Amino acid sequence: MNSSCEQKQNINVLLVTLSAQGHLNPILKLGKILVNKGLHVTLATTNSALKNMSSAPKCIGGVYHEFFSDGLPIDYDREANMDYYMDTLSKFGPVNLLALIKSHPRKFACVVHTPVVTWVSDVAAEINIPNAMLWIQPCTLYQIYHRYYNGLDEFPTDTNPNMNVKLPGLPVFHADELPSFVLPSNRFRSLDSILKQVFHNMHKVKWVLGNSFMELEKDVIMSLNNGGCVFWPVGPLVPATLMGKEVDVGFDLFKSNEDSNCMEWLNKQKPSSVVYISFGTFLFLTEKDIKNIASGLKTTKRPFLWVIRVPENQELPKHGFLEEIKEQGLIVSWCPQTQVLSHPAVGCFLSHCGWNSLLESVVAGVPVIACPQWTDQPTNAKLVTDVWGVGVKVKKSLDGVVSGEEVGRCVEEVMSGLKSEVIRKNALELKAAARVALRDGGSSDNNIRMFVDEVVSSCSCTEHK
């Protein structure tokens, strides 16, 4: 072992995240990459992650796990009381994380956090540990929020709600393509104030690592770096399963409670024939949404795999319209999404456009039917249709509903015909580019190496002088 290798194994990195699936997935993947580069990595999250688990995982893929309290009982329904949850977390999280760090046998050289736990920057500053933020949405969103929260450009207001916005490195966005938090109609107080804090606290963050890759969002990444940010895309941070490697162990907060095995079901379907449908981990579809999607699927007569999540302790109601289509497809409450997207039977993904789902779709080369709801999703949907050309977007009626006819029309548009061929070709090009970015010497691999080198050298500066 050479001395640089020995030196790295004594370097401990602490990752801190909110216990939410879309946050845990990318930071755990970053942790595994850092372990492969020779660092020792610990991931700390709140103990609400343990809600559905019989015991706390100790180590996943070489990344060690620690848990701290967010100040609420484990079984508290956080999703239903988001503002209270965020307030409590920001009060108790810093105290409990600080206690964890101080009592931990390892001395951390760097702390990396995801944006919602922005108070981690204050904890790191208090004990003088260099801090990086892992930005877990597109770099496009970072630029929009940076410009918005620092008051650098005009955004829609109550008196001018429909204005277009043009920002450096980005195409023109209409108001309904902007993230919901920058619109005057935003009603989520806590998330807006957290984002404000993130962008006012950036001077405490030494590096911003992005879950994206240069080839996917080049103009905006160049613009951010030219504007003085140290913004290094290190993604796509997705499980190795999507790269055709063996099944990658993750940290699943939810478990499928069906006996049906969706992988076995997919094995019986024709190549590129299945419509996969999922709206991520936060959204619950209304009965009307479920009915309209079901009627759209029925008209296509195509096989489908549909993840329908219901609020905690509730069963999926036995809707007659779901009974009607049950022979045509499979409905589950949770699936191994990255294995599903890499299965050759999957032909398209009807998605809410959460960033993890979208990146997974990009890496799998699967075309997208975008059905965005809130937060970054409307902006992500624009990237799908207007920037990358890897899918179509459903048109909602004035009351925000998506009709069955519209679902059917979009499925046909991505599954057959000339437009579908162009979309598939673009999707395959991005799939290839994602692999190149992660390869040895690829754009993201180079950024990870730069980050590791800087952590190692900042550590030797403070400890070995």
Dmax (CA) of the chain = 72
Residue 235 Cβ, how far from ligand UDX at the closest point, in Å?
12
Using CB under 6 A as the binding rule, whether residue 278 contacts ligand UDX is answered as yes
Task: Output the smallest distance, CB 49 to ligand UDX, in A.
Answer: 14
Which one among 357, 379, 443, 447 touches ligand UDX, defined by CB under 6 A? 357
| Selected binder of ligand UDX within 269, 338, 361, 443 (CB under 6 A) | 338
Contact code string over 189-208 relative to ligand UDX, x by CB under 6 A: --------------------
Measured from the CB atom, the residue of 8 and 309 that comes closer to ligand UDX is: 309
Q: Please tell me whether residue 269 binds ligand UDX under the rule CB under 6 A.
A: no
Taking CB under 6 A as the criterion, the residue among 281, 300, 342, 444 binding ligand UDX is: 281
CB of 379 to ligand UDX, least distance (A): 10
Distance of CA 212 to the CA centre of its chain: 10
Nearer to ligand UDX, 13 or 307 (CB): 307
What backbone phi and psi angles, to 5 degrees, belong to 44?
-110, 130
Stretch of 228-236, 287-295, 354-362, 408-416 contacting ligand UDX, by CB under 6 A: 354-362
Sorted by sequence, the CB contacts under 8 Å of residue 70 that are 6+ apart come out as 19, 46, 47, 48, 85, 88, 89, 92, 93, 96
- Which C-beta is closer to ligand UDX: that of 220 or that of 455? 220
Q: Is 335 in the site for ligand UDX (CB under 6 A)?
A: yes
Q: Which is nearer to ligand UDX, 223 or 373 (CB)?
A: 373
Residue 432: exposure state from Cβ atoms within 10 A (0-12, 13-18, ≥19): exposed
- x/- string (CB under 6 A) for ligand UDX, residues 7-26? --------------xx--x-
Interface mask toward ligand UDX for 299-328; x: CB under 6 A: --------x---------------------
Q: Residue 332 or residue 455: which is nearer to ligand UDX going by CB?
A: 332
Q: Is residue 355 at the binding interface for ligand UDX, with CB under 6 A as the rule?
A: yes
| Site membership for ligand UDX, residue 282 (CB under 6 A) | yes
Handedness of CA 166, 168, 171, 177 (dihedral sign): negative
In sequence order, the β-bridge partners of residue 67 are 45
d(CA 235, CA 343): 21
- Which of 82, 20, 30, 11 shows the shortest CA–CA distance to 51? 20
The CB-of-278 to ligand UDX minimum distance in angstroms stands at 5
Binders of ligand UDX among 369-398, rule CB under 6 A? 375-377
CB of 166 to ligand UDX, least distance (A): 23
Task: List beta partners, residue 391.
Answer: 368
Does 140 contact ligand UDX by CB under 6 A?
A: no
Nearest partner of 260 among 330, 325, 198, judged by Cα: 330
Distance, C-alpha 318 to centroid of its chain: 31
Q: Which range of residues in 90-98, 108-116, 277-285, 362-370 is near ligand UDX by CB under 6 A? A: 277-285
- Of 40 and 343, nearer to ligand UDX (C-beta) is 343
Please tell me the count of residues contacting ligand UDX according to CB under 6 A: 21
Among 156, 280, 365, 408, binds ligand UDX (CB under 6 A): 280
Cβ–Cβ < 8 Å for 241, 338:
yes
| Site residues, ligand UDX (CB under 6 A) | 21-22, 25, 137, 278, 280-282, 307, 334-335, 337-338, 354-357, 360, 375-377
